[in-house]
């Protein structure tokens, strides 16, 4: 952008921002009218070509209503993640790989304006006193923000896009799960088995949880609990969506996942879907799963099914001083099946293991593998393999009660 264009951009943006401060709320059409008025005034002050006026009009609207320079990236379906490491250091994930984008913000102030626009849209606050925040965009994309002085090189903004609802059929087409395993899990959901999904960062836990929830019968009452609402459950009319709240600096008490789990028990849910457990709320999750809410779903960070069970024990201990035997017994009673996802060296996301929790005996939780991913042709860059069946489901009581067959 030429210097004169940059100066004109800063001038117009400042004028529109000053006028917006007098409004509590403004519609898109009114904002366009305001921008047009300022552009006409700028045209009286000097030469302002028509093409530049049209471009400036959309750019100003994007800056105040959308995501400014990032909107171009948001509109592209082939980009799945946007990582802003400062005003002019932007990286994108495209086709499973990372690369640097040539664009950037003109100033750190412009980047901060975009961040404030995002977090204020979901009633969150991020500032020097509270420099870390989670938020979401209207399309469901997940947003994470870290501001200076915590972020040393300028504001950090990470956007994980969810441009479309990925169904289980689509996951089988992508090779993330076999048709046999998908049908097996679908039957378990209908038969009201409690399922826990584990995996590392970016392994596709939320996507898989969303796909699994499509098997829930539409005549049930569902309560979803998330840090930032991302699930897109569309087939359930009787749906209650709950989202946590952080301390916004105005005296409002934070509302945690544990608080929402306890509140959901008084809402008469048939099932509870918890976006993710990270800490002491794991104890509330187990209690909910053990008190007549069969068919509930949850996710958590773990490197494998055994590792996830160990992490659950630690998380429960963060919230309740219970004997380890009691915790393990609760876990074995609450969770029926575990699904572990992974992101492989070729950046593909796959179901790596499905295991049944068989109970608690002799100081350990019994795990029975049902499906396991077997890699073929190791050593090649592209991962080839399949999810093979390795065992039979032992606990078939819920299948019989629901009239389902495998």
pLDDT digits (tens, 9 = 90+) for 312-336: 999 999 988 889 999 999 999 999 9
3-state secondary structure 44-65: HHCCCCHHHHHHHHHHHHHHHH
Range with the poorest average pLDDT among 6-10, 101-105, 112-116, 269-273: 6-10
pLDDT band at 2 (very low <50, low <70, confident <90, very high): very low
Residue 176 tokens read as 């993330």
Total Cβ atoms within 10 A of residue 188: 27
What is the average pLDDT across 30-44? 83
Q: Using the predicted structure, report yes or no on whether residue 1 has a pLDDT greater than 60.
A: no
The answer to whether 295 touches 193, Cβ cutoff 8 Å, is yes
Residue 180 tokens read as 């046999």
What is the average pLDDT across 185-196? 96
Strand partners, 197: 299, 339
Q: How far apart are CA 34 and CA 29, in angstroms?
A: 9
Q: Using the predicted structure, report yes or no on whether residue 70 has a pLDDT greater than 60.
A: yes
Percent above pLDDT 90 for the chain? 49
Q: How far apart are CA 319 and CA 372, in angstroms?
A: 33
Q: Using the predicted structure, report yes or no on whether residue 86 has a pLDDT greater than 50.
A: yes
Residue 56 tokens read as 């400036």
Residue 393: phi and psi, rounded to 5, are: -65, 125
Q: How far apart are CA 342 and CA 347, in angstroms?
A: 9
- pLDDT at residue 63, rounded to an integer: 73
Q: What's the pLDDT tens digit per position in 335-365?
A: 999 999 999 888 889 999 999 998 888 888 9
- pLDDT at residue 251, rounded to an integer: 62
Q: How far apart are CA 292 and CA 221, in angstroms?
A: 13
Q: Using the predicted structure, report yes or no on whether residue 68 has a pLDDT greater than 80.
A: no
What is the average pLDDT across 35-61? 81
- Does pTM surpass 0.85? no
Could you tell me the CA-to-CA distances from 75 to 35, 61, 72, 163 in Å, in that order?
A: 22, 15, 5, 9
- pLDDT at residue 370, rounded to an integer: 97
Q: Give DSSP secondary structure letters for 329-374.
A: HHHHHH--EEEEEEE-TTS-EEEEEEEEEEEEETTEEEEEEEEEEE
- Under DSSP, the state recorded for 68 is G
Q: Using the predicted structure, report yes or no on whether residue 266 has a pLDDT greater than 90.
A: yes
The angle formed by the CA atoms of residues 192, 196 and 199, to the nearest 5 degrees, is 150
- pLDDT at residue 54, rounded to an integer: 84
Q: What's the pLDDT tens digit per position in 207-228?
A: 999 999 999 999 999 999 998 8
**Coil, strand or helix: which one is 170?**
helix
What is the average pLDDT across 23-43? 78
Strand partners, 84: 90, 157
Residues in the chain: 406
207 contact partners, CB below 8 Å, separation of at least 6: 162, 166, 171, 349
pLDDT band at 87 (very low <50, low <70, confident <90, very high): confident
pLDDT band at 3 (very low <50, low <70, confident <90, very high): very low
């Amino acid at each position: 952008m030429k210097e004169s264009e940059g100066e004109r951009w800063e001038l117009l943006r400042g004028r529109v921002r000053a006028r917006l401060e007098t409004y509590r709320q403004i519609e898109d059409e009114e904002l366009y009218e305001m921008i047009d008025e300022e552009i006409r005034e700028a045209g009286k002050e000097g030469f302002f070509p028509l093409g530049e006026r049209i471009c400036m009009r959309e750019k100003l609207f994007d800056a105040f209503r959308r995501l400014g320079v990032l909107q171009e990236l948001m509109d592209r379906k082939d980009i799945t993640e946007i990582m802003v490491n400062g005003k002019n250091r932007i990286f994108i994930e495209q086709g499973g790989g990372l690369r640097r984008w040539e664009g950037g913000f003109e100033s750190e102030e412009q980047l901060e304006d975009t961040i404030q626009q995002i977090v204020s849209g979901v009633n969150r606050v991020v500032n020097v006193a509270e420099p870390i925040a989670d938020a979401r965009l209207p399309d469901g994309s997940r947003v994470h923000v870290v501001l200076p002085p915590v972020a040393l090189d300028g504001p950090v903004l990470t956007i994980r896009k969810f441009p479309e609802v990925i169904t289980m059929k689509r996951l089988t087409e992508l090779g993330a799960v076999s048709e046999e395993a998908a049908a097996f899990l679908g039957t378990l959901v209908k038969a009201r088995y409690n399922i826990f999904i584990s995996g590392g960062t970016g392994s596709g836990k939320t996507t898989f949880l969303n796909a699994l929830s499509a098997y829930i019968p539409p005549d049930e009452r569902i309560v979803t609990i998330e840090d930032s609402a991302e699930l897109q459950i569309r087939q359930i009319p009787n749906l209650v969506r709950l989202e946590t709240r952080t301390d916004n600096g105005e005296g409002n008490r934070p509302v945690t996942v544990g608080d929402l789990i306890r509140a959901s028990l008084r809402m008469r849910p048939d099932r509870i879907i918890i976006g993710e457990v990270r800490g002491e709320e794991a104890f509330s999750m187990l209690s909910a799963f053990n008190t007549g809410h069969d068919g509930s779903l949850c996710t958590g960070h773990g490197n494998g099914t055994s590792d996830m069970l160990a992490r659950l024990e630690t998380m429960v201990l963060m919230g309740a001083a219970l004997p380890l035997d009691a915790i393990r017994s609760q876990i074995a009673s609450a969770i029926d099946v575990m699904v572990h996802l992974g992101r492989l060296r070729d950046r593909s996301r796959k179901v790596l293991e499905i295991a049944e929790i068989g109970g608690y005996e002799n100081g350990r939780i019994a795990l029975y593998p049902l499906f396991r991913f077997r890699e073929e042709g190791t050593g090649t860059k592209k991962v080839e393999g399949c999810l093979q069946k390795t065992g039979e489901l032992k606990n078939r009581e819920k299948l019989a009660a629901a009239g389902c067959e495998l």
